[in-house]
Amino acid sequence: MTPNDENQEERNKHNHLSQLASVGQIAAGIAHEVRNPLTAVKGFLQLLQNEDKPEYIEIAQSELDNALTTLNNLLQVSKPDLEDEEEQPIHMAVELESVLNLFQDRLYDVELITDIQDSETVVFGKKNQFKKAFFNLLKNAFESIEGKGKIWVSHFAAEKEVIVSIQDTGVGIPKEKLAILGTPFFTTKHHGTGMGLTQVFTVVYQHGGNISVESKENEGTKFTLTIPKKLMTNPRGVKRLELEFEKDFTMIEFFKRNSKIFEDRLLDQAINVRDKIDEILAIGNIDLINNAQKLVILVIEEREHELITFAKQEGKAWAKYSLTIAFKLEWVQAIRRTLWDFLYNFTVQSDNEHNLEDFFTLEKKINELMDQFLNHFFISYSKFKDEVLLAQRELVENLSVPIIPITPSISILPLIGEMDEYRIKTIEEKVLEEISELHIQTIIMDLSGVGYMELEVMQHLIKIIDGISLMGCKTVLTGIRPEIVKNVVKSGISLEKKATAKGTLQLALRDYLGLKKE
Ligand code: ADP
Ligand code: MG
């Protein structure tokens, strides 16, 4: 029986009680396991006051470490049941031993005999749930022993499962009670909650395992847990899909055969991108679906070199059409998740033993390659964006200083729009450069497109004119607006000495090109 058989109201009650039990367990554990090292630390600190011995610090530190480890183990065991705890690879042997450490204080009268084999074996599941189960079983075993006794703990791996057993020389369980073990609230103890075994049965069943109990009154009890190694549940919430599979399929064949389903799942996941697919195709001629398929193939076949080239191309295209980077991220993450689902299904369907190691190695490789893709994508994206920005700026700057040669020695510079410090600086550089390059002898600056100029900008312009004349070139100013003239007069700058002023560009052209008056 599991809590799943119960109605909701009762289930809530269980959770509540099991949390209460955990608090009690923590308190008891802390009292023993953390107080001792802390007392030791206190002692060494006192010693340090009198004697300056570095080794005291070391001892104190390692005692503190012990206390912290114990606290961590206690906390993990007593965490409330998280239904959504992530599944992960578990070294059962390691977890079992870490839980055993919590019972140090009982080892004066109980002899603990451990037989841990195949400790490198991995099981897939909810780690904290298993730790808690081991804790509950061991706690019962210790509690069953009055006075002196023995507890045997063993772990070993069979072909398809891990077998953990916990045996005690305790009071035993009456035959008629064996059948109701695991029933919530069944307890024979004064302060028992009857929740411990419920948790144990639940977690083992949830992972597709089995529990057997052998017990004899006044002799002892043996619990044996059989936990399958294979992928019973989903790693990281990957999804079991209905996919076509044939014996001896390679991953790539598997993917190609099911590419339509891949596409559908991808679109399911990338909610924001989904609506933009057509738009992106229209704007940049980027076929997201096709590209996703291509990416997956490159990843599966580990064609790293082509993957990088592809990432660079994509980054550039994305930058070129100013597509939002957030879409790309969502898209690539959706591809990654869908690929996991596929990989998981492939591993489950292709390998009778559901080889976990294979799954994790492949998953790791896929992750690395996807990361590489993203890295190169971003580098190329920002590089191209920078280039575009730079080019645009140069273009704008050039446009803002259009020097038009009208004869080999005369050029016109029509200035239009707002003049600010930044722009006047650009003009300065550009004009001086062009004068020396084109051997301009007369430059006609037409200001009829400039409505207003700050005094500082005006002063800067005068400096430019000074520079121009130092280069042996003459400046003709045309089309100065009355507002600007007023400003010039007010400021006392004398323009006339530095440049020739003409009312309009036409007038200047007529004079300098010898054009006839119409
Ligand atoms: P609790 O320990 O709070 O009583 P459990 O669910 O852990 O709740 O255990 C339920 C009952 O099963 C215990 O009260 C005890 O009667 C019996 N039991 C469990 N494990 C053992 C054991 N190793 N030896 C003897 N009795 C046990
Ligand atoms: Mg118990």
**CA 172 to ligand 1: nearest atom:** 25
133 Cβ closer than 6 Å to some ligand 1 atom: no
224 beta partners: 165, 212
Q: How far apart are CA 59 and CA 62, in angstroms?
A: 5
Contacts of 58 (CB under 8 A, 6+ apart): none
Query: 92: burial class by Cβ within 10 Å (0-12, 13-18, 19+)?
Result: buried
181 Cβ closer than 6 Å to some ligand 1 atom: yes
168 Cβ closer than 6 Å to some ligand 1 atom: yes
pLDDT at 15: 34
Identify which ligand lies nearest to the alpha carbon of 170.
1
Identify which ligand lies nearest to the alpha carbon of 216.
1
pLDDT at 9: 36
**193 residue type, one letter:** T
pLDDT at 4: 41
Nearest to 30 by CA among 81, 72, 62: 72
457 Cβ closer than 6 Å to some ligand 1 atom: no
Domains of the chain: 1-79 (1.10.287), 81-237 (3.30.565.10), 251-393 (1.10.490), 404-513 (3.30.750.24)
144 Cβ closer than 6 Å to some ligand 1 atom: yes
Long-range (24+ apart) CB contacts under 8 A made by 419-422 are: 419/450, 419/452, 419/453, 419/454, 419/457, 419/461, 420/454, 420/457, 421/456, 421/457, 421/460
Secondary structure (DSSP) of 277-328: HHHHHHHH---HHHHHHHHHHHHHTT-HHHHHHHHHHHHHHHHHTT--HHHH
216 Cβ closer than 6 Å to some ligand 1 atom: no
**356 residue type, one letter:** L
pLDDT at 134: 95
189 Cβ closer than 6 Å to some ligand 1 atom: yes
**Distance in Å, CA 280 to ligand 1 centroid:** 64
Give the residue whose CA is nearest to atom 16 of ligand 1: 188
Question: How do the pLDDT tens digits run along the chain, 518 residues long?
Answer: 333 443 433 333 333 333 334 444 445 545 555 666 777 777 778 778 777 777 778 877 887 887 777 666 555 555 545 556 777 889 999 999 989 988 888 888 999 999 999 988 888 888 888 998 999 999 999 999 999 999 999 999 998 899 999 999 999 999 888 877 877 677 898 877 777 888 888 788 878 888 999 999 999 999 999 998 865 444 555 666 778 888 778 888 888 899 898 998 888 878 778 888 888 888 878 888 999 999 999 999 999 999 999 999 998 888 888 777 778 888 888 898 888 888 888 877 776 555 666 777 788 888 889 888 988 898 888 888 888 777 776 666 666 778 888 888 899 998 887 788 878 888 888 889 888 888 899 999 998 888 888 888 888 898 999 999 989 999 999 988 888 888 778 877 777 778 888 888 888 888 887 765 44
**CA 186 to ligand 1: nearest atom:** 10
Identify which ligand lies nearest to the alpha carbon of 174.
1
pLDDT at 1: 37
Nearest to 186 by CA among 173, 195, 178, 174: 195
C-alpha neighbours within 13 Å on the C-beta side of residue 253: 8
Give the residue whose CA is nearest to atom 7 of ligand 1: 196
**CA 192 to ligand 1: nearest atom:** 3
Q: How far apart are CA 451 and CA 415, in angstroms?
A: 10
pLDDT at 217: 94
**223 residue type, one letter:** F
pLDDT at 342: 86
Secondary structure (DSSP) of 27-89: HHHIIIIIHHHHHHHHHHHHHHHH---HHHHHHHHHHHHHHHHHHHHHHHHHSPP-TTPPPEE
169 Cβ closer than 6 Å to some ligand 1 atom: no
**CA 182 to ligand 1: nearest atom:** 6
Q: Are 32 and 73 within 8 A, CB to CB?
A: no
CA dihedral (19, 20, 23, 29) in degrees, to 10, reads: -100
